[in-house]
Amino acid sequence: MSQAQRLKQAIEDEIVDGTLPLGARLDEVQLAQRFGVSRTPIREAIIQLTMTGLVETRPRKGATVSTPEPQHLLAMFETMAEIEASCGRLAARRLIPEDEAALREALAACARAAEAGDTEAYYQENYVFHTVVYRACRNAFLCEQARQLSRRLAPFRRLQLRVRQRLVQSLAEHAEIVEAIVSGDEMRAAEALRNHVVVQGDRFSDLVASMRSINAAA
C-alpha cells in the first residue's frame, strides 16, 4: 500500500467516525503537518477520496467532506436498503451458530448504548451490528459491497441517530431484524432491514434539515 493510500484510509476513517464532520474543509497544509508528510501524498489521498464520493471539491472552498444533493442521497439510501435486505434474506437462510451468537451480542451492545442515551456509543455499536448481518449472509462479494456503501453513508447515518427518539426506534428495529434472521424467516428479515435503512417521509426531511444546517455553517 502506497503512502497516499494509507493516508486516504486514515482520512476516510476520520470521516466515518465523525472526527472530520460533514462539510469540514480538508486543508492540505494542516493535514500534511498532522500526519507528518508532504502535501503531495495528501493531495493524492484527497483525489482518491473524491473518487469515492466521500469528499467533494467546491469553488473557493477547496476540498470538503461531501454533503450530496438530497435526491442523490435518497438514491444511495434506497440502494443500501436493497443491499441490506439481500444480506438479511441470505443470513436468515444460512445462519450458523457463530453468527447467531454474534448477532445477539451486537444487539445487546446496542441496547446498553441506547439505555445510556449515548448516541456516539450507539453509532459505533450500530456499525458493528450491521457488519455482523453482512457477514452472516455468507456471500463475500455482497458483504464487501455492503461494507463499501455503508462507509459511504456512515456520516449520514450518524446524523439520523441525533433525531429525537431515533435510538429507541432503531433498537426496536434491530430486535425485529435479529428475531427474523434467527427464526429463518427470509422475507421478514429482508423487509425489516429494508425498512430500517431506507429514509422516507419525516426521516428523510429530518436528515435533509440536518444537512442544510451543516451547509449553512460551512
User: Is the confidence at residue 54, as pLDDT, over 90?
Assistant: no
Range of the domain at 201: 70-217
CATH label of the domain that carries residue 128: 1.20.120.530
pLDDT band at 40 (very low <50, low <70, confident <90, very high): very high
**Are residues 103 and 210 part of one domain?**
yes
pLDDT band at 209 (very low <50, low <70, confident <90, very high): low
- The residue-averaged pLDDT of 127-154 equals 94
* Closest C-alpha to 119, from 218, 127, 105: 127
**Are residues 124 and 47 part of one domain?**
no
pLDDT band at 52 (very low <50, low <70, confident <90, very high): confident
pTM score, two decimals? 0.77
**Are residues 80 and 58 part of one domain?**
no
**Are residues 131 and 179 part of one domain?**
yes
Q: Answer with the residue of higher pLDDT: 210 or 127.
A: 127
**Are residues 123 and 106 part of one domain?**
yes
Domain count, the chain: 2
pLDDT band at 214 (very low <50, low <70, confident <90, very high): low
CATH label of the domain that carries residue 40: 1.10.10.10
**Are residues 36 and 107 part of one domain?**
no
User: Is the confidence at residue 119, as pLDDT, over 90?
Assistant: no
> Domain end: 65, 96, 114, which one?
65
**Are residues 97 and 57 part of one domain?**
no
CB of 113 within 8 A of CB of 125?
Answer: yes
